[in-house]
Amino acid sequence: MSIALELKGVGRRFLQGENELTVLDGADMAISAGEMVALVAPSGSGKSTLLQIAGLLEKPTSGDVVVGDRDCSRLDDKARTAMRRRAIGFVYQFHHLLPELSALENVMIPQLILGRSRKDAQARAKTLLGYMRISARAEHRPAELSGGEQQRVAIARAVANEPQVLLADEPTGNLDPTTSDHVFQSLTTLVREQGLAALIATHNHELASRMDRIVTLHGGRIVPKSV
């Protein structure tokens, strides 16, 4: 399969007073379309920084970030924003849905921002809510949904614009084990059928073991993690 996300020698350093803190130091990774990679690493290891850089929310100090066939490392802010909207989806531990909108409308919003017609946006939103097994709740607002239902809507919203890459930071971390399992199953179906390259940060080792491979961060580099 084609590579959808590649990090090449990515470094990230921060200044703390007169000292320089190295968080990432030559991090390399390639994720193919349709592949799920678990990122399991302790707090403070650079996990959030890695996700921010992979998602073009933060620029690396050194190295390259390639999404699809485009090197995004030296894009200006406007081009990076456009690339994020089109090619990258984000899922966080907390859903951040717009409370005044229905589940369906929440999934439509990013499509409308990108310029898709209301009719087409609605049709895709309905399809995605079907993938996430939540079609019956499409007209409900977030406050009327359970935690698991809210997170399924958030995942559908993240892939509404047909991104190449899905980045998730503890997407089931706020859910009970049974709900977490149901959400993860729906997420897996979506990744496989939509051909997404997914990098999923999690502390849940059982879920991590069900992905294609597991990586961790050691000394600022991405390395395979044994299970």
- pLDDT value of position 79: 92
Confidence at residue 143, expressed as pLDDT on a 0 to 100 scale: 94
pLDDT at 164: 92
The pLDDT of residue 64 is above 80: yes
* 199 touches 167 (CB < 8 A): yes
The phi, psi pair for 183, rounded to 5°, reads -65, -40
Query: Which structure tokens are listed for 80?
Result: 């990076």
Q: Tell which wins on pLDDT, 15 or 38.
A: 38
Q: Judging by beta carbons within 10 Å of its beta carbon (0-12, 13-18, 19+), is residue 78 exposed, middle or buried?
A: exposed
CA dist., res. 36 & res. 196, Å (int): 8
Percent of the chain with pLDDT over 70: 98
Q: How far apart are CA 154 and CA 91, in angstroms?
A: 7
Lowest mean pLDDT: which of 33-37, 41-45, 144-148? 41-45
Q: What is the model's pLDDT at position 1?
A: 66
Query: What is residue 225's predicted lDDT score, i.e. its pLDDT?
Result: 80
State the helix-helix crossing angle for 177-194 and 118-131, rounded to 10 degrees: 130
CA dihedral 51, 55, 56, 59 (to 10 degrees): 10
Model pLDDT for residues 149-197, shown as the tens digit of each residue: 998 899 899 999 989 999 998 888 777 888 888 888 888 988 888 899 9
> What's residue 156's pLDDT?
92
In terms of average pLDDT, the best of 74-78, 118-122, 128-132, 194-198 is 118-122
The tokens for 178 are 């049974």
Q: In this predicted model, what pLDDT tens digit does every residue of 70-111 receive, in sequence order?
A: 899 888 899 999 898 889 999 877 778 999 999 999 999 999
pLDDT of residue 53: 93
Q: What's residue 133's pLDDT?
A: 86
- Is the confidence at residue 227, as pLDDT, over 60? no
What is the rounded average pLDDT for all residues in the chain?
90
* Of 80, 74, 70, 127, residue with least CA distance to 104: 127
pLDDT of residue 122: 96
